[in-house]
Amino acid sequence: MPDYPLRCDVRRTESTTELLAQLHASEPGFQPYLLTAWSPELTAQGISLPLLAAVLDEPLALRTPRTGHAPARRLTWHCAIRNTATVELHDDDWLELTREVLDGTGIEPDDDPAACRWAALRNQAGGLDIVATVIRQDGRWAQLHGDADFARAIFAHDHGLHWSA
């Protein structure tokens, strides 16, 4: 199997806190940081992982009072993007990819103030992790059918790159 320049993996998990702790374990010599988030205030200040997990999960706690339905399991969405090429991507490149993935997958479609909460984290030189909750800020489920395919297609279509499953 040939090597592809970018690899994109999408999965769901049950605990935002555990996922963030796992992602914070960075590669040696790389200081992990929050690249961007749904709220510009989060990137302007230092934020702890437990606090980030709590604010990401706030819409989950509000779902029952708003809708009368309790949240289900596996409500944390994770998109791991890895650059396997020798060409280095800079933060501006990662920001552009983040925006395209968020819009293309339905996590945060353009101009949707009630979209899902999300954070984009850098924990290695050649990678980016986008973490989001799949319950929108208005308490509804995000429309994420085929999200893994849409995320991967962004790389192939918009950037002329290949992706791996």
Domain boundaries, the chain: 6-159
pLDDT digits 0-9 by tens, 121-151: 998 888 899 999 988 888 888 877 666 666 6
Give the tens place of pLDDT for each residue, 37-59: 998 888 766 678 889 999 999 98
Reported CATH class of domain 6-159: alpha beta
Q: pTM (2 decimals)?
A: 0.83
Beta strands in 14-125 (DSSP E): 33-37, 76-83, 118-124
The pairs formed by 107-112 with CB atoms below 8 angstroms and a separation of 24 or more are: 107/77, 107/132, 107/142, 107/144, 107/147, 108/38, 108/132
* E strand map for the chain: 6-13, 33-37, 76-83, 118-124, 127-133
User: In sequence order, which residues have a C-beta less than 8 Å from that of residue 113 and are 6 or more positions away?
Assistant: 137
d(CA 11, CA 78): 5
- For the stretch 57-79, pLDDT in tens is 998 877 766 666 666 677 899 99
Using CA atoms, how far apart are residues 10 and 153, in angstroms rounded to an integer?
12
